[in-house]
Structure 1
Amino acid sequence: MDTPQPLYSAATVRELDRLAIAALKIPSITLMKRAGRAAFAQLLQRWPEVKRIQVFCGGGNNGGDGYVIAALAAQKQIPVTVYACVDPAELKGDALEACEYARREGVHIVTSLTELDSADGNTVVVDALLGTGFSGELREPVGHAVDRINKGSGPVLAVDIPSGVSADSGSASHAVQADITVTFIGRKLGLFCGRGVAHCGDVVFESLGAPEQIYTEVEPLVQRYDAASVKRLPPRAADSYKNQFGHVLIVGGDSGYGGAALMAAQSAARAGAGLISLATRPEHLAAALTRSPEVMVHPVISGQELEPLLEGPDVIAVGPGLGRAPWGEQLLARAGRAETPLVLDADALNILAGGRVLAGIKRNDWVLTPHVGEAARLLDCDTEEVLADPRAAAIAVQQKFSGVVILKGAGTLIAHEQGVDLINSGNPGMASGGMGDLLTGIIAALIGQHLSPLEAARLAVWLHGEAGNRAAEDGQRGLLATDMLPWIRRLVD
């Protein structure tokens, strides 16, 4: 199993820059030129037939990287124009030296967008406007430049991070839409979570020769897990039997929502649970047995009827199709006090947020799986606050309720007692009903197969997203949650 990738804040990356310059004993301009060369090499690799390059430069080190790229393009005799958002006369330090380098190579520098031709399909646009120090709102003329970049038809390479994206949180209200982002020294969290995922395109990391020891001297914000770093289930022994692999109880499916609970049960089965029980409304009994005869379906009309079903399972998942009516509240109240690991999703989280059921309870053995809206309700804030800093929101939910918290999104964050993890897995086709129900069932099945709640959360998030990717090979639009069930089975081993 490989180690996860560390993701850093803007301040930490600046410290890594300083440590790299000190360790390599080189001037900072040398590191800037390395960054420019690395980005330019990626540009040529991605678009080897490029006919023209436009570089949008700001006034800081990110702009300096852009001037280096422009100089290198001129050396290759590729027509290149720089649009300078900050008058070159106002530049200082390394950015000024890089600008002078570009001028010596004959690069044409303009300071007015009216003098810049629109980028067409043969023109590669380089975004070197703002770096990791950006926060807040874009100011002019940078905002105008960002609009110009986004309206052009040419592909876009962002230097270090797309301008307008927060390196620390991934928040972005007005930002460059890049096709590829070449990032340096340390991977920034904002490229992998929040809106940053939608703006950065493909992310390419370049260490610029920074020595490995500098990374031991700083703390990352997040650890990023992938297929190689999540803990997998061990092979089964030849004499295995079903009771070794967990009895999962799914609780949910109020009137009109029976499918959600059944999909959670099906995904638990496909993820390898030995036994699956489903406590649901009586009217769903026939449909559930017809669809999944492997599932033991129990009709319940009250929390009291649920009580005897809580004694046998190794893990209980509550929430899919639960509803917020008294029926759902009763079931959550009973299940939430069972001395059994829990997975809470959907309306179980909304009921929990209401404060009348399980008020004040904190558990180390439960997994909460909110999306952004549910996280906002759990924190009694609006969704914009969660989107502005998803990592902080995930931490806040975990501190309020303990256990493991999975804040779902394009970059899913997993907050736990030891820190925060991130997993990028899945695709936009998974923005459809039932996907969260599958994840709930997978987590429960993995806990039943003796993974810890945290290990189960990591593997389940990766497995769920990868199953979505495989299923989307036939097309993202129209992807259904149940299309993923066969892939869950194939991937879980």
Structure 2
Amino acid sequence: MDTPQPLYSAESVRELDRQTIAALEIPSIQLMKRAARAAFIHLRARWADIGRIQVFCGGGNNGGDGYVIAALAAQKKIPVTVFACTDPELLKGDAREAYAYAVREGVQVLTSLTELDSADGNTLIVDALLGTGFSGELRQDVAHAIERIRKSPGPVFSVDIPSGLSADSGSADLAVQANMTVTFIGRKLGLYCGRGPALCGEVIFADLGAPAPIYQAVEPLAQRFERSSLKRLPERAADSYKNMFGHILIVGGDSGFGGAALMAAQSSARSGAGLISLATRPEHLTAALTRCPEVMAHPVISGQELEPLLEGPDVIAVGPGLGRSPWSEQLLARAGRAQVPLVVDADALNILAVGRVLAGVKRDDWVLTPHVGEAARLLGCNTAEVLADPRAAAVAVQQKFSGVVILKGAGTLIAHEGGVDLINSGNPGMASGGMGDLLTGIVAALIGQHLPLVDAARLAVWLHGEAGNRATEDGQRGLLATDLLPWIRRLVD
């Protein structure tokens, strides 16, 4: 099993830069030139036949990288022009030296967007406006430059990070939309969560020869898990039997929402759980038995009727299609007192946020799976605040309720007592009803098969997203949650 990738804040990467320069005993301009060369190599590998290049340079070291890239392009006889968003006369330090290098190589440097020729489809835009230090409001001239880049019909290559994207949180208002981003020294969290996955395109990491020991002294914000770094389920013994693999109880399906609870039950079954029970409204019983006869479906009209069903399961998943009625609150209250691990999703989270049920309860043995809106309700804030810093929101929910928190998104964050994990898995086609219900069932099934909660959460998020990726053979639009079920089964082993 490979180790996960550390994801850093902008300040931590600056520290890694400083330590790399000291350890390698090189001037900082040399590290800048290494970064620019690494970027140029990847640029040329991706767009070998590009006709011309326009480089948009800011006033800091990110702009310095851009000037060096322009110089390298000129050396290769590629037509190249620089737009300087900051007057070159105001540049200092390495950025000024990089500008001088570009000028020596014959690069034309313009200081007005009106002087810059219109880009066509054969023009590559290099975005070197803002680096990882950006935060707050964009200057008007920078905003105009970003708008110009966004209108370009050709490909866009971002140096270290798309300009306008927060390296720490992945938040962005106006930002560059890149086809490729090459990032240096340390992977920035913002590239992989929030708006990052939508803005970065393909992300390439270049360590620039940074010595391995420097990474031990700098604390990351999160750890990024890929398939090779996930704990998997062990092979089953030849004499296995169903009770060895968990009895899962799915609680949900208020009037009109029976499908959500049934999909959670189906995904639990396809994830390898030994036994599945379903507690739902009586009117959903026939549909449940018809759709999935392997599920033991029970009609429940009150919390009291749920009580006997709580004695057998190893894991309870509550929330899919639960609704927010008195019936819903009764079922959550009873399920929440059970002494087995819980997976809490959907309207169970919304009821929890109101505070009438399980008020003040903190549990080490539950997994909460909110999307952004549910996280906002749990924290008593608005969705914009969650989107502004998803990692901080995930941590805040975990600190408030304990256990493990899965904050769902393009870069799903998993907060737990030991830190924060990130998994990029899935695609925009999964923005449809029922997808979260599947994830709830997968998490419950993996816990039932004896994975620790954190490992179950990590593997479930990856399985869910990868099943979504495999199910897009016929395209992303029109993808249904149930299309993922066969793929979940294939991927779980």
Aligned to 1:166: 166
Aligned to 1:347: 347
Distance 1:244 1:170 in 2: 42
Per-residue deviation at 1:416? 0.2
Aligned to 2:193: 193
Distance 2:199 2:347 in 1: 31
Aligned to 1:467: 467
Distance 1:204 1:119 in 2: 25
Per-residue deviation at 1:196? 1.3
Over residues 309-328 of structure 1, what are the superposed CA-to-partner deviations in whole Å (9 max), with x where a residue is unaligned? Answer: 00000000000000000010
Say if 2:273 is the partner of 1:273: yes
Structure 2 SS opposite 1:83:
strand
Distance 2:118 2:477 in 1: 32
Per-residue deviation at 1:473? 2.2
Over residues 187-224 of structure 1, what are the superposed CA-to-partner deviations in whole Å (9 max), with x where a residue is unaligned? Answer: 00000000111111100000011111110111000000
Distance 1:118 1:280 in 2: 61
Distance 2:137 2:410 in 1: 23
Amino acid at match of 1:431: A
Per-residue deviation at 1:483? 0.2
Aligned to 1:372: 372
Aligned to 2:64: 64
Per-residue deviation at 1:118? 1.6
Per-residue deviation at 1:119? 1.4
Aligned to 1:113: 113
Per-residue deviation at 1:392? 0.2
Over residues 245-298 of structure 1, what are the superposed CA-to-partner deviations in whole Å (9 max), with x where a residue is unaligned? Answer: 000000000000000000000000000000000000000000100000000000
Amino acid at match of 1:85: C
Query: What 5-or-longer segments of structure 2 have no aligned partner?
Result: none
Distance 2:265 2:279 in 1: 10
Distance 2:461 2:191 in 1: 19
Distance 1:277 1:443 in 2: 15
Distance 1:261 1:326 in 2: 18
Distance 1:137 1:473 in 2: 41
Over residues 165-199 of structure 1, what are the superposed CA-to-partner deviations in whole Å (9 max), with x where a residue is unaligned? Answer: 00000000110000000000000000000011111
Provide the TM-score with structure 2 as the length reference: 1.00
Amino acid at match of 1:228: S
Aligned to 1:230: 230
Amino acid at match of 2:491: L
Question: Runs of 4 or more off by more than 3 Å in structure 1?
Answer: none
Structure 2 SS opposite 1:474:
coil
Structure 1 SS opposite 2:49:
coil
Aligned to 2:209: 209
Distance 1:119 1:9 in 2: 34
Aligned to 1:332: 332
Distance 1:473 1:156 in 2: 27
Over residues 442-468 of structure 1, what are the superposed CA-to-partner deviations in whole Å (9 max), with x where a residue is unaligned? Answer: 000000000111110000000000000
Aligned to 1:298: 298
Per-residue deviation at 1:472? 1.0
Distance 1:194 1:57 in 2: 25
Say if 2:37 is the partner of 1:37: yes
**Aligned pairs (5 A) from 1:78-477:** 78-477=78-477
Per-residue deviation at 1:117? 1.2
Structure 1 SS opposite 2:473:
helix
Over residues 86-142 of structure 1, what are the superposed CA-to-partner deviations in whole Å (9 max), with x where a residue is unaligned? Answer: 010000100000000000000000000001112111110000000000001211210
Distance 2:44 2:471 in 1: 33
Distance 1:177 1:136 in 2: 19
Distance 1:96 1:455 in 2: 49
Aligned to 2:14: 14
Structure 2 SS opposite 1:141:
helix
Distance 1:75 1:291 in 2: 66
Per-residue deviation at 1:243? 0.2
Amino acid at match of 1:33: K
Amino acid at match of 1:145: A
Distance 2:487 2:145 in 1: 44
Give the paired residue count.
Answer: 493
Amino acid at match of 1:487: W
Distance 2:203 2:404 in 1: 28
Distance 2:22 2:474 in 1: 51
Structure 1 SS opposite 2:229:
coil
Amino acid at match of 2:201: G
Amino acid at match of 2:368: L
Amino acid at match of 1:203: V
Distance 1:391 1:249 in 2: 30
Aligned to 1:77: 77
Per-residue deviation at 1:10? 0.2
Structure 1 SS opposite 2:255:
coil
Aligned to 1:488: 488
Distance 1:24 1:473 in 2: 48
Distance 2:330 2:108 in 1: 71
Amino acid at match of 2:272: G
